[in-house]
Amino acid sequence: MTDPITTFFDDLAERGHEPLLEKAVGSIRFDVVNGKQVERWFVTVDHGDVTVSRRNIGGSCTIRVDRPLLEEIVTGRKNAMAAVLRGAFSFDGDIELLMMFQRVFPGPPRPRARRRAAAPARSRR
């Protein structure tokens, strides 16, 4: 069974460039709380160019979140901004960077072929 959090960060790193983050500059430290353990991920964004690391490189923004919740967020089952509102997804530092970064969390899983809007590029009229 693959770990959704590892998968999420691996995918992000593999993309190298993320258009949704083109205006973002900075680095985010994720403190992922798993019982007594804290796993750390560091994401650096430079105008859409993304690098991911497990090594401490500091951060202009720190996000602290319980592992089960982050698992649901990176698979689209929970919404990050709602989690911020209820204090379950706490952050420190550059809020603008956080607002930008939450764009890369996926939407909820969708039943296949449910809506036309799901098709990203249709031939036009």
Return residues touching other proteins (CB under 8 A): 19-20, 22-23, 76, 78-79, 81-83, 85-88, 90, 95-96, 99-100, 103-108, 110, 115-118, 120-122, 124-125
Q: Cα–Cα distance between 119 and 115 in angstroms, integer?
A: 8
Query: How far apart (Å, rounded) are the C-alpha atoms in residues 81 and 63?
Result: 12
Q: How far is the CB of 16 from other proteins (least distance, A)?
A: 18
Instruction: State the minimum distance, in angstroms, from the CB of residue 41 to other proteins.
Output: 20
Choose between 52 and 69: whose C-beta lies nearer to other proteins: 69
Q: Do the bridges between strand 37-46 and strand 61-66 make them parallel or antiparallel, or are there none, so unpaired?
A: unpaired
H-type alpha helices, the chain: 4-15, 67-74, 80-85, 95-101
At its nearest, how many Å lie between other proteins and the CB of residue 111?
Answer: 9
